[in-house]
Amino acid sequence: MNLANKITIGRIVMSIFIIALLLFPLDASGLALPKLFINESIVVDLKYILAGFLFIIAAITDFFDGYIARKHHMITDFGKMIDAIADKILVNSVLIILASNGFISPVIPVIIVVRDTAVDAIKMIVGNKGKVVAAIQTGKLKTACLMTGITLTLFYNLPFELWNFKVSDALLIVAAVLSVVSGMQYYAMNKEVIK
């Protein structure tokens, strides 16, 4: 259990805390966080703001665990596996919760989850043939749009919401489109191995 893997495990723990915070019925238990009224039209539940800050920290650890593993030669098979699991727990869970609470369209998490499942299947098939599937640029861009879109959604799209610019929605739509594009690219790059 090296430092990079410990950071990844920490991301899983933080993800579980974010999920619990978003799902736990604080209002019904008498522990509700106060709500803010912005511009007399936006009601902000502070539990989403708190979840947003935690999400940013978790997303930053996603960068650092990989950076540390590469720089200090700590890359392990366990680390690769647990990093992918941590990413799915963090991103997919929050997307599903946001969709179930009406913040985003359910189409977004469906596309992301289906694409991730297909790409993971491709990586497993190719990995069993002794080859490695490298990350591609559209996949990295998809992740950047997705992380930023989720963060802005948790922050009620502020400050852009004040001017009625739906930046969070636009980023999530771009992420969904890039998910499909990158998924097709992963297949095209590896279809001979898959066949």
CATH of domain 3-194: 1.20.120.1760
pLDDT digit string (tens) for 65-92? 888 888 888 888 788 889 889 999 999 9
What is the C-alpha separation between 155 and 45, in angstroms, rounded? Answer: 9
> Mean of the pLDDT values across residues 88-98?
96
- For residues 72 and 95, the model is more confident at 95
Residue 58 has what pLDDT?
95
Residue 107 has what pLDDT?
97
| Contact present, 166 and 160 (Cβ < 8 Å) | yes
- Distance of alpha carbon 148 from its chain centroid, rounded? 9
Closest CA to 155 of 19, 54, 63: 54
pLDDT digit string (tens) for 24-76? 887 777 777 788 888 878 899 999 999 999 999 999 998 888 888 888 888 88
Tell me the backbone φ, ψ of residue 36, rounded to 5 degrees.
-105, 145
Q: Is residue 193's pLDDT more than 80?
A: yes
What is the C-alpha separation between 31 and 50, in angstroms, rounded? Answer: 14
Residue 129 has what pLDDT?
84
pLDDT digit string (tens) for 118-141? 999 998 898 888 887 778 899 999
What is the C-alpha separation between 151 and 168, in angstroms, rounded? Answer: 8
Position 1 confidence tier, pLDDT thresholds 50, 70, 90: confident
Please give the C-alpha separations between residue 54 and each of 30, 108, 136, in angstroms, as whole numbers.
22, 22, 27
Residue 111 has what pLDDT?
97
- For residues 81 and 159, the model is more confident at 159
| Contact present, 9 and 83 (Cβ < 8 Å) | no
Q: At CA 183, angle to CA 179 and CA 188, rounded to 5? A: 150
| Contact present, 98 and 150 (Cβ < 8 Å) | yes
